[in-house]
Amino acid sequence: MIKRLLIVALGLVCLQGARAQTIDIKVNKEYSPFVFGHNLEHTRAAVNTGLSAQMLQNRKFAGKPSKNQGVAAMWSGIGGKVFFQTGSPAYTRHICLPDMSRWNEIAAQSVQNLEEGQEAGISQGGLFLKGGEAYEMRVVTKVSARLDLKVELTDREGNKVYSSRTLSLEPSEDWVVSEFEMTPSMGDKEGSVRYTFTRKAEVVFGALSMMPKDNFHGMRPDVVANLKAIGPRLLRWPGGNFAGEYRWKDGLLPSDQRGPLQAVTEIETQPYSLGYDNHEIDTDDFIALCREVGAEPMLTINISWNSPEESAQWVEYCNGSVDTEYGKIRAERGHVEPYNVKLWSLGNEIGYRHMEGPDGPLAYSEYAGRHADAMLKVSPDLEFCSSGPYPNDTWAENSAAVLAEKVRYISLHHYAGGSRRFTTEEDVRKSYEEITGSFKGNVDIAKRMRESLDATGKQLRISFDEWNQWYSWYRPSCVAEGIYAARTMHFYLNETNSLDIPIVCYFQPIGEGAILVTPEGSSLTANGQVFAMMKAHQDGRICKVTDNEDYSTAATIKDGVVTITLINDSYDEERVFSFKIKGKPLESRLLSSDDVTPHSLFRESPLEVNVSRKGISATLPPHSAALIRLRTL
C-alpha cells in the first residue's frame, strides 16, 4: 500500500525506464464529461436477455409459426387434438406508419381445443426461476366460451408445479388483460411456464408477460446497478442501426400492445430474437434509466421513416410544456416536468448500404436540414449530430459544411477487426498484440476526420459515438480487450480537446462488451472493470502529459486531488513508473491478470508503491492497468 507521496510545485515527473514523462498539474483544461459515453441500442442481447427484465421470448408471437403445427416460434403446443394458428385478430399494433408494417410483425396465438376435457395450451421452457421470488405476470386473451385458464410455473417436463393460478375468463369482444403475481415454491434453472385449459373452446393469446417484481421500469436492477458502476455520463438510444427500425410513437402504447419491430435490411440487429424487437423500453423508461445512472440522454431519430413533423413531435414529447399537445401526453403518463433532452442524432450511418434513407451527402443534408428545422421550432436550444460515411471529404464538403449553421457534431464510428486464435502461445501473443495495438485505428481515423472537417473552414465537432472491437458482441470478453479499452480511453482523455471530440460512446456495454448478463445474474467483464476504474477521472480537469505517444498515462485534477491511470500493455515485460512528487496518498489499486485469453478477468489488488526521499515508484506487471490518487500539498 502507499505510505507516503511527495509533490513538486511544477508538476509530476514520471521516469519510465530511460524516458522521462511529465504530467504538468498546473497546465490543465476542462473537458467534456461525454467522453464517458455509451450506446444503449436495441441490438442482439443488449436489451433482449440483457437490460430487459422480460423473461418470455417472442411473447407477442411475431414471425412464422412452426412447421405443420401452427405454434409461434419459441413456444410449444400442449395437447393432442388441438388446432394452433397465428394471425388475426391481433392485440399488438403500430401507432405510426402502418403502411410500413411487415406482414409478420403483428399476430396473435390461437389455441383451439377440439376435445372436451383434454388439456390444451402453450408453454415455454428454459426459464430461470428463483424460489420465493415474486414474478409479475400478465395474460392478454380473448376466449370463445367461459373457461378456466390455468397458469403454472413448473419444472421442464411440467411434472412438478411450483406455483399455480387459475383465471376465470368470459367471452368478450375486447381483449382481457389479467395481471397477477406468482411465487414459485422452489428454484429451477430450467423451469417452464404453462397456460392450459380443458374446455372445447378457443383461446387467443394476444401477449404474455413475465418479469421479476423488483424490476426497474421493466429493466433488471442488477444490470442497471452494473451500468451505474461503469459510470456512463451519456447514453445514446435507441441506436445505432436500430434507430432505422424504431417507431417512437409506439412507445405511447402499453408495452404488451406495442407491435414487434422487424429488422429492416438485415437480421443483424436482432439475431437472437427471430429478427424482431419487442419494444420493451420506451422513451419514459430510457429517461428514467439515464437519471438513475447519471447519464445525459442522446436520442437518434428515424430519419428515413419519420417525417420532420413526427421528429418534432418527439422533441415536444420530451421537452414541451404541459400546454403543448405532446407535452400534455407526457404529463398524462405521469411525467409533468419536461425531460429537456438536448442532444439529438439526425439518423445513423446514413450513406452506408445497410441503412435506409438518402445515400448521398446533398440528399441527406436536405433531409436532415428539414428535420432539424422542424425540431428547432419546438426547442431552439437543441444540439444536433449529423451522420455519414466519415471520414469522407465529399460528405464533409456537401453535408457537414452545408448543415454547419445548425449541426455542430458529426458522427464517427470505428471498429477494430481481425480474427482471434488462442490455442498456442504464439497465437495468444499475436492476438493479444493485435487487439491491444488496434486502438491506434481510433487514433488514426479521428485525426483523419479532424483534417477533413477542418478543410471545410467550419467549426465542426466530432461525435465518436461508436467504438469497439468488431464482433465483440459474438464472443466472450478478455483481458486483452480490457487493455484495448484502457488505451482507447486514454487516447480520448488526452486528445478530446486537441481534436475537439466532446462526445465518445463505447458500443456497447450491456451484453456486448462491458457487462456480462446471464439468467442467473450480471457482472463486469474486463472492459467493464476498466471503465469502472476510468470513471475516477470524471469531473476533473485534464492535465498536460508529455512524451505520451503510446497514451500509457492519463491524469486529471479536481479540488486538489490528482488522479493518474497507468497502462502497461506489454505482453510479457514489467514496466516501472517513477514519480518525484509530494502529496498525501488517497488511493491506489491495480488491475492485473496472468491470463489474457477469452473469459479472462482482471484481478483487483492494492498497487504496491515504493516510497523514498526522492519520490515514489511502482512496477506494473504485463497487461495491467493502475490507478493512483493523491491530494496535492
For the chain, the residue count is: 633
- For 486-534, give the DSSP string: HHHHHHHHHHTTTTT--EEEES-SBTTTSEEE-SS-EEE-HHHHHHHHH
What CATH number does the domain located at 5-30+543-632 have? Answer: 2.60.40.1180
Q: CATH 2.60.120.260 spans which residues of the chain? A: 76-212
Q: CATH 3.20.20.80 spans which residues of the chain? A: 33-53+215-238+281-537
> Looking at this protein, which amino acid is placed at residue 113?
N
pLDDT of residue 12: 45
Q: CATH 2.60.40.1180 spans which residues of the chain? A: 5-30+543-632
Q: Residue 103 and residue 109: Cα distance in Å, rounded?
A: 15
Mean pLDDT by 10 residues, the chain (633 residues): 33 44 84 98 94 98 94 97 94 75 86 98 98 98 98 97 98 97 98 98 98 98 98 97 92 96 80 92 98 98 93 98 98 98 96 83 96 98 97 97 98 91 96 96 98 98 97 94 98 97 97 95 98 98 90 94 95 87 83 98 92 76 96 80
Rounded to 10 degrees, the C-alpha dihedral 506/507/510/514 comes to -50
Q: How many other CB atoms are found less than 10 A from the CB of residue 548?
A: 18
Name the nearest CA neighbour of 84 among 103, 109, 53, 114. 109
pLDDT of residue 5: 35
Q: What topology does CATH give the domain 76-212?
A: Jelly Rolls (2.60.120)
Name the nearest CA neighbour of 580 among 159, 32, 16. 16
- For 16-65, give the DSSP string: ETTEEEEEEEEEEE---GGGGEEE---STTSIIIIIB----TTTT--S-B
Q: Coil, strand or helix: which one is 442?
A: helix
- Give the number of C-alpha atoms closer than 13 A to the C-alpha of residue 474, restricted to the C-beta side: 10
pLDDT of residue 97: 57
Q: Which CATH number among 3.40.50.720, 3.30.1050.10, 3.20.20.80, 3.40.50.300 corresponds to the domain 33-53+215-238+281-537?
A: 3.20.20.80
